[in-house]
Homo-oligomer: A and B are copies of this chain.
Amino acid sequence: MNDILGDWKRSHYCGDISAAEIGQEVVLMGWVQRRRDHGGLIFIDLRDREGIAQLALDPDRDPDAHGKAELVRNEFVVAARGVVSPRPEGTVNPKMKTGEVEVEVRELRILNSAQTPPFMIDEFSEVAENIRLQHRYLDLRRAPLQRNLLLRHQVSKTVRRYLDDEGFIEVETPVLTKSTPEGARDYLVPSRVTPGNFFALPQSPQLFKQLLMVSGFDRYYQIVKCFRDEDLRADRQPEFTQIDCELSFVDRDQIISIMEKMVAEVFKATLGVELTLPMPRITYTESMARFGVDNPDLRFDLELVELSNVVKDSGFKVFAEVVKKGGIVKALNAKGCASFSRKEIDDLTEFAKIYGAKGLAYVKVQEDGSWQSPIAKFFTDKEIASIDQALQAEAGDLLLFVADSYRITNETLGRLRGHLGHKLGLAKKDVYRFAWITDFPLLEWDGEARRHVAVHHPFTAPVEEDMALLDGDPGSVRAQAYDLVLNGSEIGGGSIRIHDQAVQKKMFALLGIDAEEAEEKFGFLLNALEYGAPPHGGIAFGLDRLAMILTGSDSIRDVIAFPKTQKATCLLSGAPGQVDNKQLRELSIRSAVRSQ
């Protein structure tokens, strides 16, 4: 079935021929998107990475080529030599880049045949994802995935050129490294040479990039695979890609400034969107107050308002008692949503309960400004006026209230805010709203483990003016950490790191890591800090997440060439798979699962 290429060389991509090539002889190679027989003539839409060109085969002019064209089916691979001609009047397709021309084929070669694919290679067919993943090589032929991976390449390329030009050095860090069971679960790799010992795949190159700063590389970057053996959510993969940076002799503001410029370059190069710099900054405390979360979607308002003071002495016991017990009462104004049905409000209440709220109080503001609400009767006119004013309530608005602990109230209303933004169509895909969230707490209390855990990681530096609080009130110490949030997603996060061995030791102690454990797990970092570590900090961006937002994809799997399912399997290759017992013996391990 194969014709060989012989001395043929492709002259153009299919998508690149246009009126400028009329009269030229061209050689195109690609896939048959569609064959049409029309009054004895055969037309083939030939597809390659760059687009589609129309081949025209005339049985009178070139009977041999025409004869071969009769054999081809969809997805056959063919090469065609012919002359670019204007399409006959009335057949011009202005929607296509190549729609003004066709190629009068002089010679056709069939390079490979194709079975009928299990789904159409176009962008319109809806195909079950497991079928797409099984035949990923066909799914990847379809225009949306082609576009996604091309755009992803454009992101990497832009990032690399920017960082190269800013004096960053790409350094590769090890994939086979040591397990440090902080944070997520490690993927392990048994060592053959050192039986009973294991490598771990890196969750991030954190320690290595800090060591590169100790080594004086000054500015490091890497676009690098990282690994977490976690139960997968829709937007997680066992292996994911970070744009990983670290800089010496800089403070937070310098890092933010360099990095937001990089993000702006990416948006310009990929979408032609000019971002406004500097990007807004919001402290963690302010973000929690206004949005209930530390990754706010700024495409819409629906801000949270605290009403604890207004309602603490009200006749509505539920609210008053929450405040008395140290909780808070907050609300948001869903503008114009008074028309929500009973069912819609019930759905919002169910949504709220997911995050631990016991209920969701609501008020519909009627045409005359009065409240229609089960809780209206508990409030005085003055209290109602205060609440209306605080929420800027107007006729037709829907007010939603949660009263609970600081954490539950904020998380519930914060999530509800995001949910409403999408429900109301306020979260537009082609609008991009960034913010840097700063001044995170350094530590949070883990009630179960009864100890502090690091909000970012144990290497994050405290804010210098809070350093004195480390001993007496560590929970109130702020971190020199910053996240970049885009449309409600954290796309990057980083911090100034601890460069002082004494501070690092104190941090480990606060986290309940004793000196022996610190030495065993992080001894090489502690040693390094002893030999002249410069002040340094860095950041990591999630490339998959960023590509997902830039392409408007709903799943992270749509921006990864060969993704895993949510059960961490590859439907294409069948990984993970069985291995020979000999392989396990060589690695000095046994499977605890009876072999079949």
Contact = CB atoms under 8 A, between A and B. Distances in A.
Interface of A: 1-2, 4-5, 9-10, 13, 29-31, 47-49, 75-77, 79, 111-115, 117, 135-138, 140-141, 146, 149-150, 153, 156-157, 160-161, 164, 169-179, 181, 185-201, 207-208, 211-212, 214-218, 225, 227, 229, 238-239, 241, 248-251, 254, 464, 499-500, 523-524, 527-528, 530-535, 560-562, 564, 567-570, 572-580, 583-595
Contacts of A586: 185
Contact of A593 (B1, B150, B588): B588
B175 A227 contact: yes
Contacts of A2: 499-500
A562 B75 contact: no
7 contacts: A49-B217, A140-B211, A141-B216, A173-B561, A176-B576, A197-B576, A198-B577
Contact of A31 (B48, B112, B216, B588): B216
A569 B191 CA distance: 9
Contact of A531 (B115, B177, B207, B569): B115
A140 B209 CA distance: 12
A147 to B, nearest CB: 12
Contact of A141 (B31, B140, B215, B576): B215
Given A177-B573, A191-B576, A535-B5, A530 B114 contact: yes
Contacts of A569: 193-194
Contacts of A576: 176, 178, 189, 191, 194, 197-199
A577 B179 contact: yes
Contacts of A136: 211, 215
Contacts of A138: 215, 531
Contacts of A207: 573
B561 A115 contact: no
A53 B161 CA distance: 29
Contacts of A115: 530-531
A277 B123 CA distance: 44
Identical subunits present:
2
Contacts of A149: 169, 171, 217
Contact of A212 (B4, B561, B592): B561
A562 B9 CA distance: 44
Contacts of A560: 172
Most B CB contacts (10 A, CB to CB) among A2, A76, A171 go to: A171
A590 B593 contact: no
Contacts of A229: 192
A254 B575 CA distance: 35
B193 A567 contact: yes
Contacts of A523: 574
A176 B146 contact: no
A261 B483 CA distance: 42
A192 to B, nearest CB: 6
Contacts of A590: 589-592
B153 A157 contact: no
Contacts of A218: 13, 48-49
A50 B413 CA distance: 52
Given A137-B215, A161-B161, A196-B578, 14 more contacts: A48-B216, A77-B534, A77-B535, A141-B216, A149-B171, A174-B239, A176-B187, A178-B570, A181-B580, A188-B583, A196-B594, A225-B225, A589-B589, A589-B591
